[in-house]
């Protein structure tokens, strides 16, 4: 009996086809979130690096440079963002193991810690205003408000991304990973900013 199917067709029958973005237009292709994260974090890093260089250069120019005392609340802010990063990492790993319900609760805890971080930053600004350190008082106070304000804005963006993860039903693991990595990046960025502010002041 003659063979109706070639050898090549038999070999291709065992090939596993991965779902492409063309099959499901509503889903982003694999790797898109990773590229977006690298682009965002790279631009944020370059922006803050330029600000830090300008800050250090201006600190070496004595005229009109009057260092302001850093509020002690910033230590609380540091503890809160580090704790939120640790909780987020635990949640990310649990989500990868399929424990979605517990991970969602930890995502919520991360969001609460992020909100507490923003609240502590607002408290620090209030303490400075009460002490007479305003935005336009001198270059040092201007840089302080600029650093902390821009970082808080990026944290707020991370909380919005976290809210997207919470509102989606079974979000892709890649999305969860990228939001977590972005949150960790903000934590490392805050440590760098806090260190620079503390050393220069």
Q: How many residues does the chain have?
A: 201
pLDDT at 32 over 50: yes
Residue 154: which of 106, 187, 122 has the closest Cα?
187
Q: Domain locations in the chain?
A: 33-59+73-200
Torsion 161-174-37-110 (CA) sign: positive
pTM given for the model: 0.82
Q: Give every CB contact of residue 135 below 8 A, 6+ residues apart in sequence.
A: 141, 142, 145
pLDDT (0 to 100) of residue 9: 47
CATH number for 33-59+73-200 (one of 1.10.10.10, 1.20.120.80, 1.10.1060.10, 1.20.1250.20): it is 1.20.120.80
Distant-in-sequence, close-in-space partners of 40: CB < 8 Å, separation ≥ 6: 182
pLDDT of residue 151: 97
């Amino acid at each position: 009996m003659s063979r109706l199917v070639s050898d090549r067709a038999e070999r291709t029958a065992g090939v596993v086809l991965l779902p492409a973005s063309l099959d499901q237009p509503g889903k982003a292709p694999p790797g898109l979130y990773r590229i977006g994260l690298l682009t965002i974090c790279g631009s944020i890093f370059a922006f803050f690096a330029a600000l830090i260089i300008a800050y250090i250069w201006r600190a070496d120019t004595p005229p009109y440079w009057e260092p302001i005392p850093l509020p002690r609340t910033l230590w609380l802010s540091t503890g809160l963002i580090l704790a939120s990063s640790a909780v987020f990492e635990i949640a990310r790993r649990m989500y990868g193991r399929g424990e979605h319900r517990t991970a969602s609760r930890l995502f919520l805890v991360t969001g609460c810690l992020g909100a507490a971080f923003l609240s502590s930053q607002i408290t620090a600004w209030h303490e400075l205003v009460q002490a007479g350190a305003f935005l336009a008082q001198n270059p040092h106070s201007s840089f302080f408000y600029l650093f902390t304000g821009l970082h808080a804005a990026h944290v707020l963006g991370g909380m919005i991304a976290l809210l997207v993860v919470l509102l989606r039903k079974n979000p892709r693991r890649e999305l969860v990973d990228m939001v977590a990595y972005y949150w960790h990046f903000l934590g490392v960025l805050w440590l760098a900013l806090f260190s620079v502010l503390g050393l220069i002041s």
